[in-house]
Structure 1
Amino acid sequence: MIQIEGVPGRTTYVNGEEFLFFSGFAYLGMTSLPEFNTLIMEGARKYGAVFPSSRISNTRSALYEEFEEKLSGFLGLPASVSFSSGYMASKAAASFAAEHSRLLYTPGIHPSLHIQESSTPVSEEWREDIIGKVNEEVNESFTIVMESVNPLTGEVQDFSWLDQIRNPVRLLVDDSHGIGILGEKGEGIISFLPKIPPIRYLVCYSLAKAFSCEGGGISGEEEDIKAIKKLPWFTAATGMSPAFIHAWNNSGPLFDKQLASLKNNILLFDQKISGVPSIRHDARLPSYRIREEACYEFCLQYHILLSAFRYPSENDPLMARIVLNALHSEEDMEILSTCLHEFYKTVKI
């Protein structure tokens, strides 16, 4: 384990030494922008760091409703509800779905989405199994549970198989690693989901990843969101910090600028690592999966810090990844690509 110092951005510090930082999930690099931090402090002064009242109390803040309307408009879905974290949002979404349907899980689901009592185990032929259950068991209500981005492969999930669904079904998608990045304006996986009448979408997400705002949300149909607002996950929980809500509400141009920089960095880096074997990458995402564990240690020698941890459990193989953010310069990416080319000269693939 490596203890880093200060706020990581394009670089970070370890024991007083500077390292290029290609890890974490602050994809847009918001916490390194003075304008963004000013908005957070402005929000704290205006509304407080914490709103000291329940979301269902007789004393409420209009800030939350304004924020949730903006979330709905951003994703293009009828209604939204916010939470203090993405984890809380996904637990609420899964709990709601489990109360009203049988959950059909797909591979790589985040632990927060698991409601064991209502789940169906994942098989190797999971697509065929799900299509069969939904189309044949007409008297049963189902919710398909998916991640927008496969955490094991670092690729955007393929949703084309949903075209084979014939009966009504809810699709719960965790878009924590897609919102803010995917789509023309960062609206997330919703821009890639097929518009099929039988499918009712419910999207949960963290706002801490791309947007660097501690909080989360769920967006979907009005009826579903109203029901979620009656759950203890909402009624008995502290709301998202008003400081971050204010920052999100007023950072649209900053988000757009950083997303453009990130997409440009992805294009540049793809060119620089052309010919490097064994790196798995989806061109829509800023993460690059590395198969060889030794690459992490090799880069570390050159003061380059990659993402590396065992997932989903400590007994699984080390998962090494390169994570670009909007702050990286072309020189940063040139240094990393040179290091990768050198490493793979020494490795037999």
Structure 2
Amino acid sequence: MSDEFIINQLPSNKILLKGKEYHFFSGTSYLGMNQDEDFKKLLIEGMNRYGMSFGSSRNGNLQLDIYEQAEEKMARWVGSEKSLTVSSGMLAGQLVAQYLKTQNATFFYAPHSHAANFHEPNICLPNLSFEAWATTIGDEILEKNALHSVIVCNSCDALKLSRYDFNWTSQLPIGGVPHNQAITLIIDDSHGLGITGKNGSGIFEQISVNPNIRLVIVSSLHKAMGIAGGVVFGDNDFIETLRHTAFFASCSPIAPAYLHAYMYADEIYARNLQNLQSNIHRFNLQISNNQLFSFLPNYPVYYTLQDDLYDFLFENGIFIYSFAYPIKAGKPNTRIVLSAWHEEEQIDFLAEKCKEFSQI
């Protein structure tokens, strides 16, 4: 594996390393928003109106209307009653986790849950498959007999490309758990929002729960959406409670210029989502008989156990994702990431080189 590289420009579909140009198939800018010229114009328009940032508490005595407007629009899009934006996806997870911690809730974490949603450091995650964990979570809740149980999981395994089955959520409470027991289900949709679900609206409307189950979705907006911030989706009462916590009041808000851009970017998001889906379809057709990758239908990430693919593609002018995550130790996670910003010629070149590697 090569050493880390440092560049002085933001990646797009190509990057410049030591004077040589490489096709860039890494990162998480699935819709290419951080280099979209039309989105940049909207962002600059927002900066001219609202400045670079809003240096105040969202609970102060002077409010900016753009926050409420954008949050109402996001909630309608996703299908939740209400939403609340914060300045990062990590903060979205911590806002929810730290509030529920004050409610003496008992937490149950699924395998591979993201650390952004931990209520305390050094959580020990279950060492089994998501499917196996889902069959036992009801029994775990019953055994603990807690007054309030919190279940935390991701919407999918975005590292090793596994799509999770959430049919079990409609059966909660299960295994004899009393129907009056409070259960909060938190799903991190950071790698789904913007590119999965109807019109990119993510997983919210795909989850079915019983009336005593509170569904909360947390997500980064920085990945597909190209917005430097995070969001929490949920029912009116829960979001209003979060809104008035000291944790939320003490945090700097998301820069309002991004939300201004979001308000007027519907056509840009729709166009880029269509471009991304076209790129996925084009690449899939060319690797359909290739056993090199694990991947999901209509999803832009391709995972491989063959870490040597990184060096091979790098030698051929293609830069892909390959490093250990989230802890910088152990086996690298090697994968290819497609984006809306890739041209057809780049997709074809990548597919050709992947075929060559498979034949070696």
TM-score bracket for this pair, using the shorter chain length: over 0.9
Out of 30, 36, 39, the residue aligned to residue 33 of structure 2 is 30
CA distance in 2, matches of 1:96, 1:118: 18
Structure 1 stretch 126-135 or stretch 79-88: which is displaced more? Answer: 126-135
| One-letter amino acid of the structure 1 residue matched with residue 190 of structure 2 | S
TM-score by length of 2: 0.91
Distance of aligned partners of 1:120 and 1:11 in 2 relative to their CA distance in 1, 3 Å threshold: closer
| One-letter amino acid of the structure 1 residue matched with residue 106 of structure 2 | R
The Cα RMSD (Å) is 1.9
Is residue 2:252 matched to residue 1:249? no
Is residue 2:342 matched to residue 1:336? no
Aligned residue number for residue 114 of structure 2: 110
Structure 1 stretch 127-136 or stretch 281-290: which is displaced more? Answer: 127-136
CA distance in 1, matches of 2:56, 2:8: 35
Structure 1 stretch 226-235 or stretch 325-334: which is displaced more? Answer: 226-235
Aligned residues: 346
Aligned residue number for residue 161 of structure 1: 168
| One-letter amino acid of the structure 2 residue matched with residue 26 of structure 1 | S
CA contact (8 A) 1:102 1:118 kept: no
Aligned residue number for residue 66 of structure 1: 69
CA distance in 1, matches of 2:123, 2:328: 24
Query: Map of 1:134-213 to 2, 5 A cutoff?
Result: 134-135=141-142, 140-166=147-173, 167=179, 168-213=182-227
CA contact (8 A) 1:19 1:303 kept: yes
- Local SS of the residue matching 1:82: strand
TM-superposed CA distance for 1:16, in Å, is 2.4
| Contiguous gaps of at least 5 residues in structure 2 | 174-178
| One-letter amino acid of the structure 2 residue matched with residue 340 of structure 1 | C
CA distance in 2, matches of 1:138, 1:256: 46
Is residue 2:268 matched to residue 1:265? no
CA distance in 1, matches of 2:121, 2:318: 44
CA distance in 1, matches of 2:89, 2:287: 33
CA contact (8 A) 1:104 1:120 kept: no
- Local SS of the residue matching 1:185: helix
TM-superposed CA distance for 1:342, in Å, is 0.8
Out of 52, 55, 60, the residue aligned to residue 58 of structure 2 is 55
| Contiguous gaps of at least 5 residues in structure 1 | none
Distance of aligned partners of 1:316 and 1:43 in 2 relative to their CA distance in 1, 3 Å threshold: same
TM-superposed CA distance for 1:198, in Å, is 3.8
CA distance in 1, matches of 2:27, 2:313: 16
Report sequence identity in percent: 30
Runs of 4+ with >4 A deviation: 117-121, 135-139
1:278-316, Cα deviation, whole Å (9 max, x unpaired): 300011311010111100000000100011110232222
Distance of aligned partners of 1:119 and 1:344 in 2 relative to their CA distance in 1, 3 Å threshold: closer
Distance of aligned partners of 1:197 and 1:185 in 2 relative to their CA distance in 1, 3 Å threshold: same
Structure 1 stretch 116-125 or stretch 9-18: which is displaced more? Answer: 116-125
Aligned residue number for residue 227 of structure 1: 241
| One-letter amino acid of the structure 2 residue matched with residue 36 of structure 1 | F
